[in-house]
Amino acid sequence: MQLKWLVSGAVLLAAAGMGGYLWQQQDEAAPAGAAQAAGAQAGQRPGGPQAGGQQAGAPQAGQRPGAGPRRAGGPGGAGANPWNAPVPVRVISAETTDLKVQFKTIGTATALNTVLVQPRVSGPLLALHFTEGQKVEAGQLLAEIDPAPYQVKLAQAEGQLQQNVAQLKNAELDLALYEKLKTQNSISRQQYNTQQALVNQLKGSLKSNQAQIDAAKLELSYTRIVAPISGKTGLRKVDAGNLVQANSAEGLVSITQSAPIYVVFSIPETQLQSLRLAVQDQQKQQQKLVVEAWDRNDKQLLATGELTTLDNQIDPATGTLKLKAQFANSDDQLFPNQFVNVRLNIASRPGAVTIPQDAVQYGAEGTFIYVIENKKAQLKMLELGVVDNGRVEVRSGLKGGDQIVMEGLDRLRPGRDVELVQSSQQE
């Protein structure tokens, strides 16, 4: 028995040294520990214990009992590459519309007339006959200054006139008497000439007196301050009871005439030639170019008017030309000195193919878009034209009704399958 154990041990050691597997049936009487030791050195039999003390078929960590390892591409595995799946996109159709050719710039609303109402005579301010922000008409009474000093001055001028009238009447009677005496040679010719000169002198004094009366009446009329133009009053600069001075710099109140109203704006000199051609065409048709005034955010149309004036020279400092447009402004949408966005319409493109500006993509070869044909994305290069209110003219490369990709562009390439998520018309 002892010899048998030694032979078995030698065989196992030789097998372990050659790196092979030795399968030998052990004697039933051999100790279990010896067989286990031999198996640990010579390798494991199929179905035997695995390295780390884990038996074959035992579930690994995190694996359900009885579930074997998954195979790639099998049911429940990774499956097809998700990057090759159809790309969800939102599309919009190209439209055929009439497009406006516009110059866009900024401008300032300017009142047609602005007047600072100033007192023309000095004196205590008795009353104000307007409220702030009120619309007044030309000739309407606005304020009154104490007229008493000017009434006295008028009375003095009238009294002086009456004195000179009496003196003239007496001198004329004497002249008539001298004329009879001269024919009788009762007085010298020199005495007659002196009397005639006195009459003429008094006639001149009467004219001077009448002028003084007229001046006194004019000053008296200035005590009633009336509106020189129709418009809207501003904030008053002085209260009733104060002593006002003639031609004071601050005045009493300002009046602005804002219906109609002007908008002054500028365009660069590079656009001057196109503008002049458009103006000439409109003059032949006895029409004027249309000008639109939009709010500061360029979202709301405030008013529509007509181009009235081009300045006579270009500003050399800025290289721009000033223009003026008139608006009826009957609804007071434009306010004096208000900032506005101006759109000057110089031409129109009827039947133009247009798309939203946001749909246009820019690359090294130029502008392009993706269109959908047979549920596949196709790239098309574009030649763009004018822009009008967020839409751009497509001169070539597109036709009306083509479906343009608006969203989902990041994963597109020519020929890629797509899935239409939403299709709507641009409002």
pLDDT reported for residue 377: 84
Closest CA to 201 of 179, 171, 158, 163: 171
pLDDT recorded at residue 11: 40
pLDDT of the chain, 427 residues: tens digit per residue: 443 443 344 444 344 444 443 333 344 434 444 444 434 344 444 444 443 444 444 444 444 444 444 444 444 444 556 667 888 888 888 888 777 788 899 999 999 999 999 999 999 999 999 999 999 999 999 999 999 999 999 999 999 999 999 999 999 998 888 888 888 888 888 888 898 999 999 999 999 999 999 999 999 999 999 999 999 999 999 999 999 999 999 999 999 999 899 999 999 999 999 899 888 888 888 889 999 999 999 889 999 999 999 999 999 999 999 999 999 998 889 999 999 999 999 887 777 888 888 888 888 888 888 888 888 888 888 888 777 777 888 888 788 888 888 887 777 788 888 888 865 444 4
Instruction: Name the pTM for this structure.
Output: 0.58
Unique residue bearing structure tokens 């590079």: 270
Residues of the chain with CATH 2.40.30.170: 102-111+259-347
CB 367 within 8 Å of CB 400 = no
CA-wise closest residue to 304 among 268, 266, 330: 330
Torsion (CA) 233, 236, 237, 242 in degrees, nearest 10: 130
Give 341's Cβ-side CA count (13 Å radius): 11
Q: Where in the chain is the domain with CATH 2.40.420.20?
A: 89-97+350-424
Quote the CA–CA distance of 351 and 385 in Å, as a whole number.
13
Residues written for the chain: 427
pLDDT of residue 352: 82
pLDDT at 245: 94
Using alpha carbons, select from 261, 224, 229 the residue that is nearest to residue 136. Answer: 229
Cα–Cα distance for residue pair 19/140, rounded to 1 Å: 124
Q: Return the amino acid letter for 299.
A: K
H-run or E-run covering 367: strand 366-373
The answer to whether the Cα torsion of 374, 375, 380, 383 is positive or negative is: positive
The whole-number pLDDT of residue 82 equals 65
Q: At the fourth CATH level, which superfamily is domain 102-111+259-347? A: Efflux pump adaptor protein, beta barrel domain (2.40.30.170)
CATH of domain 89-97+350-424: 2.40.420.20
List, as one string, the DSSP characters of 85-110: SPEEEEEEE-EEEEEEEEEEEEEEEE
Cross-strand bridge partners of residue 256:
114, 232
Residue whose token pair is 């390892």: 69
| Of the candidates 32, 29, 37, the residue with the CA atom closest to the CA atom of residue 9 | 37
Q: Which residues contact 146 (CB under 8 A, 6 or more apart)?
A: 123, 124, 126, 223
Report the top-level CATH class of 114-253. mainly beta
pLDDT, residue 373, reads: 84
Chain centroid to CA 82? 45
- Report d(CA 178, CA 196) in Å as an integer: 9
pLDDT in tens, 207-265: 999 999 999 999 999 999 999 999 999 999 999 999 999 999 999 999 999 989 999 99
pLDDT of residue 226: 95
Q: Which residue has the tokens 């002892």?
A: 2
Beta bridge partners of 311: none
